[in-house]
Every structure is written in C-alpha cells, then in structure tokens.
C-alpha cells in the first residue's frame, strides 16, 4: 500500500486519500521537541482562511505587532515535549544562569544592603 494511503475508520472515510503530511506531528510538536526552531505562517493561508479580508493588509503594515501576537498564540498552544532526551540549547543555559543568580540574590537579601527584595 502506498505510504500516502493509510486506512481510516469508516466514519472518517472519504473519496480522497488522507495526505501523508496530515499524519505527521504538527509543526508545534516538532518545535516542542526541538527538531525545528520556527513556525511558518503563510500569508496566502491567512488570506484564504481568515474571515477578515483586511487581515493580511494590516499584518503587512504592522508586521512587528502581529509577529508578537502570533508568537504569543503559538506559545499558548505549544504542546509539551514528547521526547525525554532533548538537547540543551543556549536558552536553557541562560535560564539556568538566571535561576542561579536569583537563588544567590535571595540568600543575600537582608545581609547585603545592595540587594533588595523585589516588590
């Protein structure tokens, strides 16, 4: 059987075969598993599926604002990693360093007048 023709339950059967890419994990899972670092959003897809005909035009005029909104939306919908042994990257190292710095600062609060507890 060709790889793009995967049997499906009768309730999901249709006259067209399910495309192979529809069975692979979504791009967000690849990002969560650190196999990819970017999520591509096609303006053509936005234009085709949006109910707002002016969305693409506004996005092109105010790209930075929409990039921020799209990044926040993607982060909110990001699944948990499903692989246990993920490679450590620069972001992990930075987070570890910030955590260590905060722990050291917390130990010195009250003993060192230059370090103050944030309110």
| pTM of the model as a whole | 0.50
Residue range 36-95, pLDDT digits in tens: 888 888 889 888 888 998 999 999 999 999 999 988 988 898 888 887 777 777 877 888
Ranges of each domain in the chain? 10-86, 88-119
- Taken in order 40, 43, 48, 51, the sign of the CA dihedral is positive
Number of helical (H) and strand (E) elements in the chain, helices listed first: 5, 0
Q: Which two tokens stand for residue 118?
A: 């944030």
């Amino acid at each position: 059987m060709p790889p793009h023709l995967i049997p499906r339950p009768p309730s999901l059967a249709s006259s067209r075969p399910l495309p192979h890419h529809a069975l692979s994990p979504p791009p967000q899972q690849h990002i969560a598993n650190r196999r990819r670092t970017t999520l591509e959003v096609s303006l053509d897809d936005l234009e085709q599926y949006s109910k707002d005909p002016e969305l693409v035009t506004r996005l092109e005029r105010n790209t930075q604002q929409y990039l921020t909104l799209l990044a926040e939306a993607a982060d909110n919908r990001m699944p948990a990693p499903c692989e246990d042994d993920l490679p450590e990257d620069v972001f992990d190292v930075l987070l570890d360093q910030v955590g260590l710095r905060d722990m050291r600062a917390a130990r010195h609060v009250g003993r060192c007048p230059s370090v103050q507890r944030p309110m």
